[in-house]
Amino acid sequence: MRLPLLAFALAACAARDVQVIAHRGASWDAPEHSFAAYDLALRQGADWIEQDLQMTRDGQLVVFHDDSLDRTARGPAADCAGLVRDKTLAQLRRCEIGSWFNEKFPGRARPEFSAERIPTLAEVIERYGDRARFYIETKNPAEAPGMEDSLLVLLRKHGLAGAGADRERVLVQSFSPASLERLHALEPELRLVQLWEDPIPAAARDSTLKRIAEYAVGFGPSRRILNADLVRGAQRRGLVVHPYTVNDEPVMSYMLELGVDGMFTDRPALLLRLLGR
């Protein structure tokens, strides 16, 4: 992007307060979905920290990206391998989630990462209280019946949904329209974001965005499908646009030029620096 365009884009960003969303925390520099990654993201100044939800066999909501434990969990095989939904919370307590990061990224490794554990969503909310805003994703909701109900119980308990809720501190996203529509039916004031991975044909763009705007306040497209027409179309429907996952400065600059309202990044410090924050 030419320098004058970048300067113009950054000035526009300052005017509209582009949101910096720490994807799985500051997961470039610390193990994803760990307290270490969330602590770092907040120290850096991220506006939001993201939590991916899985449900255990005994109905507990834990913060973990994959449906399988195999990539990032380490510990006894009976407890720390296989599907999250096949394990109880007690089993997951025996797993750590930092050694894989130290092995994969030796230049960013820290010995203390090997002590990180799989947190529950309740623990994340309790730890950060009013210091953070929570961007929660329902993962694999079709394989976890009742996930939406359990999430709402938890949000209401902590004053993040229901009567008198601080609604500005929570966004709930999903690739599943059915999951979001259920949440909207149960809690119409909860702010929702529809994730989207595949290109939308131009002929279907407006009708698709119109349908999303019936239950959501935001549109979360893959950065790979985003263009100016899609951004403008979503914003005309009243949807904020938060693409995922943007880790390189040239792509961040391009997203800002397109006029996005925020973006997911593993590197919140880099985006904050680009925004002059």
- CA–CA dist 78, 53 (Å, integer): 21
Largest CA distance in the chain: 57
Contacts of 271 (CB under 8 A, 6+ apart): 20, 246, 252, 263, 265
Between the two ends of the chain, the Cα-to-Cα distance in Å is: 21
Q: Which two tokens stand for residue 180?
A: 């979001």
* CA-to-CA separations, 189 to 108, 220, 238, in angstroms, rounded: 41, 19, 15
Among residues 33, 65, 158, 184, the one annotated as catalytic is: 65
Q: Determine whether 65 is an active site residue.
A: yes
8 A C-beta contact, residue 79 and residue 94: yes
Select from 72, 134, 141, 130 the least CA-distant residue to 102. 72
Q: Determine whether 184 is an active site residue.
A: no
List phi, psi (to 5°) of 49.
-115, 140
Active site residues: 23, 65
